[in-house]
């Protein structure tokens, strides 16, 4: 079953065509790595798959839902780690994660588990997110996505701001998600592999997917 | 009576100004759009 | 016939010429053919312009409301463009209503403005609401998002109007002004022919404005779409180079 | 739906307790406005007492604009609004949660303002119950409209200037009705203040319905 099926998708940011006709098909359980320079359209492509950006042309389906009509149904099933952390600087680490967990029906145990898995030190749990370092904040943001148990992971530069240990945790997370049957789309302008995993590379440039990658 | 005349001048003047503004805007935009895309605007018979 | 591209067409030229003739006739009717009013005196001559503009302003805003519903309900682009056009024309009519009304009020009531008059106050707030609508409309950004937001603002404004009207009426009662009924009494007295002519002339002006404004908005969309196509091909070329 | 709304409202109020924007910025601002009115009206206690209801509610509306801006600013600071949209929560819950948080803040503002007009304008309410009920009902209506318009402008770069232009005219009936009700409560005008509560209530109900119906459309794209 295709988890993502895009055909000639155009998406606008204001009046700028960030995606200029993307064709892409991703099967369940696949790990795909989007590569490309800044401004190639990686972030918009992930946000489109998350149902946050509407396609203006083309046919687009994610997790079986049409992106023109059913974006809300898509949103609750995906987990997006983007440039914004989606955290409130005035709330503590555990308050933030607990808030997002509460909205998706996850309990305190899952919050603890997610923070443990991202190796956010317990002494930081009661510290306001605004006072965390970039790396710790990123880990907290990842934890708040982990509690959602997404079927489709959308990771935009997931390694940015993390130390080596943090990067290893992210790689581990991706491996486990894929092993559990989830699909993972990673965008990065520097990586060509994810830990020991060799994901399918797809290169974006100028809002379209480079020809060579269609063959693979 | 002065108020009445002033009212008419502003009223008709307002119509005229807005009409002129619309026409000018229309002319400027229309020159950027090819004739076959200018629906209803059959100015060039 | 001019071959320069414009928003004109045969139909709008006919409407335009008819509007000019009707306005000229209305001017004659208001100033020479009609008699001064028993109570208002010569001030009534401004009424032949003021009353039709005031009534038609509501017609324009109702059209804006209908267009907004069409957009929200059916995603009708036509409705969206129509709502934008009607709102702008409505604001013009609304402003003229307030100006002519004040200039009528000065000789009649002895003051430009009277907070005790429900219509005056309601019309002013209506103007402010739609000025906000136009302000939102001109903020750059995603077209569909903006259209949806604007449609909601227009509907909220129209829903707000009866509440404002009722509360101002209730509120103004304390001043014991009975201006509204005073005006209603007057309508009966003024020259029926001039009144009819006023509605005809202003109705033609309104339709001319609406058609032209609609076409301007339509052309803006076309220009934007064209710009988008160019941006798309540029973007694709950028991708092919790499 | 209501449970999620409660979560969102509680979250916003907790952020408020931590950041203290209400107590250190909005409340002082409201006090400043009260002082400015005294200067504008030539320090005449008689005039101030007579116009207390109107001045009170104008100040509340100004404070409401700030409160709405703040409540939505926390969502755009670090992409939380996207996370909220991704959470799959019913948009109506977000609307109600935001409205509840704004309403709570407004009630706090009203209490402080009530005390300051008693002290500074020598205005004492004859009918405290009416003042309290009208205050709460009006806060609800203002909050509902504020929550609606706050979400409408949240993703615009010009949101801070556009919000008052859109919101304040819409709140005109609230200002009129609440001022009338307070005119009765403070004994400055001989009207039936309880009757004006109907207008406030109607306004609140209409905007609650509008918000519940349109929030999905607003958050879908914005």
Give residue C177's pLDDT band: very low, low, confident or very high (50, 70, 90). very low
Residues of D within 8 A of C159 (CB-CB) are 206, 210
Q: What is the count of residue pairs from C and D with beta carbons less than 8 Å apart?
A: 75
Mean pLDDT calculated for residue range D57-85: 94
Q: Which of D4, D79, D89 faces A85 most closely, judged by CB atoms?
A: D79
Q: Which of C4, C9, C42 sits opposite B42 (nearest CB)?
A: C9
- The stretch C193-203 carries a mean pLDDT of 89
Q: What is the pLDDT of residue B1?
A: 76
**CB contacts, 8 Å: A148 with chain D:** 87
Task: State the best of A90, A101, A161 to mutate against chain D, taking most chain D CBs within 10 Å.
Answer: A90
Q: What's the mean pLDDT in C216-239?
A: 86
Residues B1-45: tens digit of each pLDDT: 788 889 999 999 999 999 999 999 988 888 888 777 776 665 443
Q: What is the pLDDT of residue A25?
A: 92
Q: Mean pLDDT for chain D?
A: 92
Which residue(s) pair with A81 in the sheet? A155
CB of A85 less than 8 A from some CB of D = yes
B21: distance to nearest CA of chain C, Å? Answer: 10
Give the percent of chain D with pLDDT over 70: 99
How much is the pLDDT for A216? 45
Sign of CA dihedral C159, C161, C163, C164: positive
According to the model, what pLDDT value does residue A130 have? 92
Q: Which residue of D has its CA nearest to C173?
A: D191
Full residue range of the structural domain in which residue B16 is found = 2-27
Secondary structure of residue A13 in the 3-state scheme:
strand
Q: Is the ipTM of this complex over 0.90?
A: no
The pLDDT tens digits for D154-204 are 988 899 999 999 999 999 999 999 999 999 888 887 778 888 898 899 999
| CB atoms A102 and D7 under 8 Å | yes
Any alpha helices (H) in C110-191, and if so which ranges? 118-137, 143-172, 179-189
What is the band of C155 on the pLDDT scale with cuts at 50, 70, 90? very high
Instruction: Say whether residue A57 is in contact with chain C using an 8 A CB cutoff.
Output: no
Closest by CA to A158, choosing from A173, A177, A176, is A173
| pLDDT above 70 for D33 | yes
Chain C closest-CA separation from residue B17 CA (Å): 10
Q: Does residue B28 sit at the C interface (CB-CB below 8 Å)? A: no
The answer to whether the Cβ–Cβ distance between C222 and B33 falls below 8 Å is yes
Touch between chain B and chain D: 3 or more Cβ pairs under 8 Å: no
In chain A, whose CA is at the least distance from the CA of C237? A206
Average pLDDT on D22-45 reads: 91
C20-30: average pLDDT? 88
Angstroms from C188 CA to nearest CA on chain A: 54
Q: Is B26 on the interface with C (CB under 8 A)?
A: yes
**Is residue C182 predicted with pLDDT exceeding 50?**
no
Could you tell me the residue range of the domain that residue A163 belongs to? Answer: 27-54+71-212
CB atoms within 10 A of CB C236: 17
Q: Which residue has the higher pLDDT, D24 or C143?
A: D24
Of A15, A37, A40, the CB nearest to C228: A15
Q: Are C61 and C206 in contact (CB under 8 A)?
A: no
Mean pLDDT for the stretch of residues C31-37:
75
Domain count, chain B: 1
* pLDDT exceeds 60 at position C175: no
Q: Which residues pair with A2 in a beta bridge?
A: A27
Q: CB distance C144–A208 less than 8 Å? A: no
Contact call for C152 and D206, based on CB within 8 A: no
- Give a yes or no: residue A3 inside a domain: no
Written as tens digits, the pLDDT of chain A (216 aa) is 789 999 999 998 888 889 999 999 999 989 999 988 888 899 999 999 999 998 989 999 999 999 988 888 899 899 999 888 899 999 999 999 999 999 988 889 999 999 999 999 999 999 999 999 999 999 999 999 999 999 999 999 998 889 999 999 999 999 999 889 999 999 987 776 666 777 888 989 888 888 655 544
A119-133, C27-41, C165-179, D29-43, range with the lowest pLDDT = C165-179
Residue ranges of E strands in A14-56: 16-27, 31-35
Residue A210 at interface with chain C, using a CB cutoff of 8 Å? yes
**Dihedrals phi, psi of A60, to nearest 5 degrees:** -140, 130
Tell which of A68, A207, A210, A214 to mutate to test the C interface (max C CBs under 10 Å): A207
Name residues 143-172 of chain C within 8 A of A (Cβ): 143-144
Is residue B20 one of the residues assigned to a domain?
A: yes
For residues D173 and D142, the answer to whether their CB atoms sit within 8 Å is no
Phi, psi torsion values for A129, nearest 5 degrees: -60, -35
Tell me, yes or no, if D217 comes closer than 8 A to chain C by beta carbon: yes
Can you read off the two tokens belonging to residue C199?
A: 């509605």
pLDDT at position A2: 87
C21-35, D28-42, D80-94: lowest mean pLDDT where?
A: C21-35
Asked if A54's CB is within 8 angstroms of D15's CB, the reply is no
Query: A3 by DSSP, 3-state: which?
Result: strand
- Domain map (residue ranges) of chain D: 2-221
B37 in a structural domain = no
Contact D203 C144 (CB under 8 A): no
Q: Which chains neighbour B (Cβ–Cβ under 8 Å, 3 or more pairs)? A: C
Residue C59 has pLDDT above 90, yes or no: yes
Chains A and B touch (3+ CB pairs under 8 A): no
Is C216 close to B44, i.e. CB distance below 8 A? no
Find, among D218, D222, D58, D49, the residue nearest to D119 by Cα. D49
pLDDT band at residue C141, thresholds of 50, 70 and 90? confident
What residues of chain D lie within 8 A of the CB of A88, using their CB?
11, 15, 74, 77-78, 80
| pLDDT tens per residue across span C74-122 | 889 999 999 999 999 999 999 999 999 899 888 877 888 887 777 888 8
Encoded tokens for C167 = 């509360």
Which of D15, D83, D220 is closest, CB to CB, to A86? Answer: D83
Cβ–Cβ of D162/C132 closer than 8 Å? yes
CA distance A77 to A152: 7
**pLDDT at residue C1 above 50?**
no
Residue B9 sits at the chain C interface (C-beta within 8 Å): no
């Amino acid at each position: 079953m295709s988890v993502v099926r895009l055909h000639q998708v155009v998406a606008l940011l204001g009046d700028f065509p960030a995606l200029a006709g993307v064709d892409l098909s991703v099967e369940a359980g696949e790990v795909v790595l989007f590569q490309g320079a800044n401004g190639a359209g990686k972030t918009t492509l992930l946000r489109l798959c998350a149902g946050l950006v509407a396609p203006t042309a083309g046919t687009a389906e994610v997790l079986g839902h049409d992106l023109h009509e059913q974006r809300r149904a898509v949103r609750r099933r995906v987990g997006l780690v983007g440039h914004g952390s989606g955290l409130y600087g005035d709330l503590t680490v555990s308050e933030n994660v607990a808030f997002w967990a509460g909205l998706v029906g996850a309990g305190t145990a899952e919050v603890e588990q997610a923070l443990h898995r991202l190796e956010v030190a317990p002494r930081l749990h009661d510290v306001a997110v605004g006072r965390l370092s970039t790396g710790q904040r990123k880990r907290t943001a990842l934890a708040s996505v982990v509690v959602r148990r997404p079927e489709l992971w959308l990771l935009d530069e997931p390694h940015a701001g993390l130390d080596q240990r943090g990067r290893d945790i992210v790689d581990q997370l991706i491996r486990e998600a894929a092993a559990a049957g989830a699909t993972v789309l990673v965008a990065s302008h520097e990586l060509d592999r994810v830990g020991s995993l060799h994901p399918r590379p797809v290169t974006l440039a100028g809002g379209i997917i480079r020809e060579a990658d269609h063959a693979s | 009576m002065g108020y009445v005349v002033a009212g008419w001048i502003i009223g008709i003047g307002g119509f005229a100004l807005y009409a002129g503004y619309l026409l000018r805007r229309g002319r400027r935009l229309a020159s950027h759009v090819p004739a076959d895309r200018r629906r209803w605007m059959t100015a060039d018979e | 016939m001019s071959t320069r591209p414009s928003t004109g067409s045969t139909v709008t030229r006919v409407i335009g010429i008819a509007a000019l003739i009707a306005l000229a006739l209305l001017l004659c009717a208001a100033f020479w053919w009609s008699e001064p009013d028993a109570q208002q005196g010569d001030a009534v001559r401004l009424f032949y312009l003021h009353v039709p503009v005031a009534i038609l302003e509501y017609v324009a805003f109702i059209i804006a409301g209908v267009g907004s519903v069409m957009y929200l309900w059916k995603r009708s682009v036509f409705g969206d463009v129509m709502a934008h056009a009607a709102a702008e024309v409505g604001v013009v009519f609304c402003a003229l209503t307030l100006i002519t009304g004040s200039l009528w009020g000065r000789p009649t009531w002895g003051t430009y403005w009277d907070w005790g008059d429900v219509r005056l106050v309601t019309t002013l707030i209506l103007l402010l609401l739609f000025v906000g609508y136009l302000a939102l409309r001109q903020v750059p950004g995603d077209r569909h998002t903006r259209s949806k937001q604007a449609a909601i603002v227009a509907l909220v404004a129209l829903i707000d109007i009866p509440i404002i009207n009722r509360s101002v009426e209730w509120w103004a009662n304390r001043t014991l002004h009975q201006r509204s009924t005073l005006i209603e009494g007057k309508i009966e007295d003024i020259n029926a022919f001039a009144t009819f002519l006023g509605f005809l002339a202003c109705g033609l002006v309104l339709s001319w404005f609406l058609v032209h404004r609609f076409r301007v908005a339509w052309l803006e969309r076309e220009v934007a779409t064209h710009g988008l196509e160019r941006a798309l091909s540029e973007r694709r070329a950028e991708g092919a180079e790499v | 739906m209501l449970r999620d709304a409660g979560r969102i409202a509680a979250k916003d109020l907790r952020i408020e307790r931590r950041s203290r924007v209400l107590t250190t910025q909005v409340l002082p601002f409201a006090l400043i406005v009260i002082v400015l009115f005294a200067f504008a009206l030539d320090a005449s206690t008689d005039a101030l007492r007579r116009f207390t209801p109107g001045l009170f509610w104008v100040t509340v509306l100004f404070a409401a604009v700030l409160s709405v801006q703040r409540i939505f600013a926390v969502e755009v600071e670090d992409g939380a609004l996207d996370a909220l949209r991704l959470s799959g929560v019913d948009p109506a819950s977000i609307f109600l949660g935001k409205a509840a948080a704004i309403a709570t803040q407004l009630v706090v503002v009203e209490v402080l303002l009530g005390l300051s007009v008693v002290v500074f304008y020598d205005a004492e309410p004859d009918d405290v119950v009416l003042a309290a009920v009208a205050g709460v009902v009006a806060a609800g209506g203002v909050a509902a409209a504020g929550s609606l318009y706050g979400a409408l402008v949240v993703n615009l770069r010009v949101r801070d200037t556009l919000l008052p232009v859109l919101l304040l005219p819409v709140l005109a009936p609230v200002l009129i009705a609440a001022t009338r009700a307070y005119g009765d409560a403070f004994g400055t005008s001989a009207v039936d203040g309880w009757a004006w509560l109907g207008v406030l209530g109607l306004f609140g109900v209409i905007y609650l319905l509008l918000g519940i119906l349109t929030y999905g459309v607003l958050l879908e794209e914005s």
